[in-house]
Structures are given as structure tokens and as C-alpha cells.
Structure 1
Amino acid sequence: MSGKNQHVVPHGDKWAVRGAGNDRVTSTHDTQEGARRAARQIAINQQSEVVIHRPNGEIRDKDSYGNDPHPPKG
């Protein structure tokens, strides 16, 4: 992967996109889906991964938009 992974995380009563290791959020959104779409665009540009978190912070899902070192089999 080339760029920094993008995390979709709860942010108060909204959802945010935060680059891995960043203290500040890149953008905030009213819905998780809105934040996921924004993170996806960044990840495509940076050839990185989107990590989607649940409201409790637990990782729910990951999507890769670069050279995936572990592509799905089958």
C-alpha cells in the first residue's frame, strides 16, 4: 500500500474520516455512509485501505483500494 489508511470513526454525534496516525479528522459527516464515501475517494487516490469502525470503535469492515497483499481467493 502506498498511502495512509483512512479510518471511518464515530466523532461526537457524527462520523469522521481520519488518516491513520493523525490526531485531527480530515472531514466530518452526518452519516457513516457519507464518511465511508469520502474515505473511499481518499483511499483510491492514495492506493490505501478504508477501515470502517462501529459506534463503539471496534473495526467492522475493511476495503482495499491499492495493491492488496492478501487478495481474496477463489
Structure 2
Amino acid sequence: MASKNIWISPDSDQWKAQKEGAERASRIFDTQRDAENYGRNVLQNNGGGELITQNQHGQIRSKDTINSNDPISRKDTEH
């Protein structure tokens, strides 16, 4: 099963959003907020996962579980 985590980390004076296990960044942003918003949108549209943000020293600053953006209820309404 593929990992559904996206890491947000500083890259010089910019921020990169990178899927876990990928060699290259998915996208580069001028601000941390833009990178995190991108990561949230990708995770919501692809079944959910963890959004992990690192600080300048490589330490995890925050982890956020993002749920799928699935409007269909999975509840059993028949019984």
C-alpha cells in the first residue's frame, strides 16, 4: 500500500511540498501557508492522509490528518 503522506519542508528561502518516498518536490512555494494549502488539497482529493510540516532543522513541527473530500456517505442506511 502506498503512503499517503505529504511533507512540507523549507528549501532555502522557499517551501516544498513532497509526497513521501518521492525524490523530487511536487511543487515549490514562496510561503509555508501556500505549501500547506496545496498539500491539504492534494490529500483531500486523493483519499486523505497525513500532512507533515518540518521546521528549518528538519524536526517535525506539526502533523495533521486530512480526511477525504468524499461527499458520499459510507453508512449503511438499509438496516
Q: Where on the TM-score scale, by shorter chain, does this alignment land: which range? A: 0.7 to 0.9
User: Which residue matches 1:45?
Assistant: 45
Query: Structure 2 CA distance, aligned partners of 1:45 and 1:14?
Result: 24
Cα deviation 1:11-46 (Å, max 9, x = unaligned): 121000000011100001111111011111111122
TM-score by length of 1: 0.80
Q: Which has the larger radius of gyration?
A: 2
User: Which residue matches 1:63?
Assistant: 64
4+ long deviations beyond 2 Å: none
What does residue range 16-55 of structure 1 map to in structure 2 within 5 Å? 16-46=16-46, 47-55=48-56
State the secondary structure of the residue aligned to 1:61. strand
TM-score by length of 2: 0.75
- The one-letter amino acid paired with 2:31 is T
Say which structure, 1 or 2, has more relative contact order (CA 8 Å, 6+ apart): 1
User: Which residue matches 2:73?
Assistant: none
Gaps of 5+ in 1: 68-74
